[in-house]
Amino acid sequence: MNLRPAYIAGVAETPLGEVWDHSELSMAAVAAHEALTEAGLTFADVDALFTNYMGEEGTVQLGEYLGIMPRYADSTDLGGAAFEAFIHHALAAIHAGRCEVALIAYASRQRTRRSRRMTRESDNSTLGAQFELSYGLPGPLGHYALIAARHMYQFGTTSEQLAEIAVAARSWAVMNPKAWSRDPITVEDVMESRLICDPLHRLDVCLVTDGGGALVVTTAERARDAAKRAVRILGAGESQTHWSIAQMPDLTRTAAVVSGREAFAMAGITPADVDVLEPYDSFTITVLLALEDLGFCGKGEGGAFVEGGRLAPGGALPALTSGGGLSYNHPGAFGLLLLVEAVRQLRGEAGERQVPGAGIAVAHGVGGLMSTASTVVLGHD
Amino acid sequence: MTEPDLVGLPGDPTTAPFWRAAREHRLMLQRCTACGAYQFYPRPFCLSCFGLDLEWVEASGRATVYSKTTVRIPVIEEMPPPYVVAIVTLDEGPRLTTNLVGDEPAIGDRVSLTWRERPDLPPLPVFQRLAGDGGGRSTAQMGAG
């Protein structure tokens, strides 16, 4: 089957950090304009729209705001993994001839609005309210803490090993002028930060910031006028496992087992081919499990794998190169910004934090309560 | 089937039998009459064989701690931190999220059912160290028999 290839032809971040002079919609519009300009396209060219967490009915409010009446729309709710899944879906839609120019956009002001809640169940008849929240389990923090505790019990993973991931993220953030947290930290700093849900410390947990971004996915023909080199989508995959944490079949195996297998098979690559990895880092344990489930190391070996700065600048597997959700920005659904960073690394425009000769990049989204995963492999023709 | 009386129950018609039994300190699971599989939380079909005929049976109340975390931040008004949230694997097979109370058991330890009363809602099944269990894994194995 000879499917026409699809490309990411434009990327942009919205304003980041604390944003007081925008609405979410205006942030997304500014980023969309920048990404489309980079792609050599305009709002008039967009015939497919992808977003979520921008208000009721997903794409509908954003579409109106941007003046887009798409012939293909998708507001799939996979949490932090939604945006890598949108790439997957846009790729399939382009393959099937259902669209030519897909705009993926998102913005959040969760920091300035103080809208982040740990008690997400407002209706006490939901399964979550009956069987989780009534026990005081904070979401998603408590769910990830239970996963980390089980991984430690089963494989001997240590808090120091998890801390290595936060330290690696921060060491990249030091080189990113847009990062929220840029002061260098050590493993000891993470260990001495407040325990909030054992075994997770404050510095094992991502930031809460405003932010977002936009991506343009299109065909080779439409990407021809792009201002910068378009990056090819080589593979994509997604999956999900559970919502209630007690329903997760194995706390140490995530949906990345399936999403990674699908994406890597489509791209015809193995983990050894990956030059730069952008794994979702809502928590340090999120990264550790992604490394195992995507096949960068064996099950249970993630702790030893991240030791010695392997993910940090100069390490064997450059990962979290923006500084990640742990140190750069985390606007609620961080997956879109993983893709922005992956594209910039492949274009060689990541400045001080550029990974030399990056040819294959993987963005891996994780959402919900370690519920969902979606993996995208990007590269050049 | 008559309309279930949901007054004072936190759930929905499918979970109401669980909460009614909880009022009497009985932890109820569903068991498939066709394949014998146990399941929790309740659903209108068997997740193992997809059969529709399920019966309610009382759990033994014995379980093993699968994972746990000490919550050190305030989450809900009625539970001031710190407290322990855990996932336990019931001897019948299903897992549930719960609290560990009393002398704190470790992951892998054997635990038994007790109940936490709530002012306006049915009591919650929570777990404590199994009486006579030293916490060692060999003891736990014996306890499982």
Q: What is the CATH number of the domain that holds B112?
A: 2.40.50
- Do the Cβ atoms of B15 and A130 come closer than 8 Å? yes
The parent domain of residue B140 ranges over 61-145
* Inter-chain CB proximity B10 and A129 less than 8 Å: yes
Alpha carbon distance A150, A106 (integer Å): 34
Domain co-membership, B69 together with B89: yes
Alpha carbon distance B20, B27 (integer Å): 10
* Inter-chain CB proximity B85 and A251 less than 8 Å: no
Comparing alpha-carbon positions, the chain B residue that sits nearest to A251 is B67
Q: What is the CATH number of the domain that holds A160?
A: 3.40.47.10
Q: Which long-range contacts (CB under 8 A, 24 or more apart) does B83-86 make?
A: B83/A136, B85/A135, B85/A136, B85/A137, B85/A142, B85/A146, B86/A146, B86/B127
Token couple for A331: 């606007």
Q: Is residue A365 part of a domain?
A: yes
Alpha carbon distance A358, A353 (integer Å): 12
- Do the Cβ atoms of A369 and A221 come closer than 8 Å? no
Token couple for A51: 């977003």
pLDDT band at B11 (very low <50, low <70, confident <90, very high): confident
Q: Is residue A132 part of a domain?
A: no
Is residue B1 pLDDT above 80, yes or no?
Answer: no
Q: What is the pLDDT of residue B120?
A: 86
Domain co-membership, A189 together with A92: no
Domain co-membership, A183 together with A74: no
Domain co-membership, A88 together with A176: no
Number of domains in chain A: 2
Is residue B135 pLDDT above 90, yes or no?
Answer: no
Q: What is the pLDDT of residue B10?
A: 75
Alpha carbon distance A6, B47 (integer Å): 39
Q: What is the pLDDT of residue A121?
A: 58
Alpha carbon distance A256, A302 (integer Å): 14
Q: Which of A51, A103, A194 is nearest to B82 (CA)?
A: A194
Percent of chain B with pLDDT over 90: 76
Domain co-membership, B36 together with B85: no
Chain A residues inside the 8 Å CB shell of B41: 127, 130-131, 244
- B85 part of contact set with chain A, CB < 8 Å: yes
Alpha carbon distance B113, B104 (integer Å): 14
DSSP secondary structure, A75-126, as one string = ----GGGHHHHHHHHHHHHHHTTS-SEEEEEEEE-TTTTT---S----STTS
Rounded to the nearest angstrom, the gap between the alpha carbon of residue A259 and the centroid of all alpha carbons in its chain is: 13
The residues in A 142-171 lying below 8 A from B, measured between CB atoms, are 142, 145-147, 149-150, 153
Q: What is the pLDDT of residue A126?
A: 87
Chain B residues inside the 8 Å CB shell of A194: 72
* Inter-chain CB proximity A198 and B12 less than 8 Å: no
Alpha carbon distance B10, B141 (integer Å): 36
Q: What's the mean per-residue pLDDT of chain B?
A: 88
* Residue partners of B2: CB distance under 8 A and separation at least 6: none
Is residue B93 pLDDT above 70, yes or no?
Answer: yes
Per-10-residue mean pLDDT, chain A, length 381: 90 97 97 98 98 94 98 97 98 97 97 79 79 94 98 98 98 98 98 98 96 97 93 98 97 98 98 98 98 98 98 98 98 96 98 97 98 98 89
**What average pLDDT does the segment B72-81 reach?**
94
Domain co-membership, A161 together with A224: no
Domain co-membership, A29 together with A45: yes
Q: What is the pLDDT of residue A119?
A: 67
- A250 part of contact set with chain B, CB < 8 Å: no
Q: What is the pLDDT of residue B145?
A: 28
Q: What is the pLDDT of residue B138?
A: 39
Q: Any idea which of A345-354, B12-21, B60-69 has the lowest mean pLDDT? A: B12-21
Min CA distance, B132 vs chain A (Å)?
23
Chain B residues inside the 8 Å CB shell of A137: 71, 75, 85, 97
pLDDT band at B137 (very low <50, low <70, confident <90, very high): very low
For the entire predicted model, the pTM comes to 0.95
Amino acid at A18: E
Last residue of a domain, one of A198, A232, A266: A232
Is residue B100 pLDDT above 80, yes or no?
Answer: yes
Q: What are phi and psi of B68, to 5 degrees?
A: -155, 155
Domain co-membership, A244 together with A355: yes
Point out the residue among A118, A141, A246 whose CB comes nearest to the CB of B87: A246
Q: Is residue A160 part of a domain?
A: yes
Is residue B144 pLDDT above 90, yes or no?
Answer: no
Is residue B4 pLDDT above 60, yes or no?
Answer: no
The residues of A annotated as belonging to the active site are: 280, 328
* Inter-chain CB proximity B97 and A246 less than 8 Å: yes
Point out the residue among B11, B68, B79 whose CB comes nearest to the CB of A149: B68
* Inter-chain CB proximity A247 and B108 less than 8 Å: no
* Residue partners of A131: CB distance under 8 A and separation at least 6: A244, A246, B41, B96, B97
* Residue partners of A168: CB distance under 8 A and separation at least 6: A306, A309, A310, A311, A312, A315, A319, A320
Domain co-membership, A252 together with A155: yes
Is residue B142 pLDDT above 50, yes or no?
Answer: no
* Inter-chain CB proximity B99 and A130 less than 8 Å: no
Q: What is the pLDDT of residue B141?
A: 37
Min CA distance, A166 vs chain B (Å)?
20
Domain co-membership, A143 together with A167: yes
Domain co-membership, A245 together with A217: no
The residue ranking higher by pLDDT, A116 or B57, is B57
pLDDT band at B7 (very low <50, low <70, confident <90, very high): low
Q: Is residue A341 part of a domain?
A: yes
Token couple for B39: 């399941």
pLDDT band at B104 (very low <50, low <70, confident <90, very high): confident
- A116 part of contact set with chain B, CB < 8 Å: no
- Do the Cβ atoms of B46 and B38 come closer than 8 Å? no
- A135 part of contact set with chain B, CB < 8 Å: yes
**Residue the block writes with tokens 């983990």:** A271
Is residue B136 pLDDT above 60, yes or no?
Answer: no
- Do the Cβ atoms of A172 and A320 come closer than 8 Å? yes
Q: Is residue A124 part of a domain?
A: no
Chain A residues inside the 8 Å CB shell of B124: 134-135
Domain co-membership, A222 together with A198: no
The parent domain of residue A373 ranges over 137-206+236-379
Q: Which of A125, A131, A132, A135 to mutate to test the interface with B (most CBs of B within 10 A)?
A: A135
The residues in A 178-197 lying below 8 A from B, measured between CB atoms, are 194-197
Q: What is the pLDDT of residue A269?
A: 98
Chain B residues inside the 8 Å CB shell of A147: 67
- A127 part of contact set with chain B, CB < 8 Å: yes
* Inter-chain CB proximity A251 and B87 less than 8 Å: yes
Domain co-membership, B29 together with B83: no
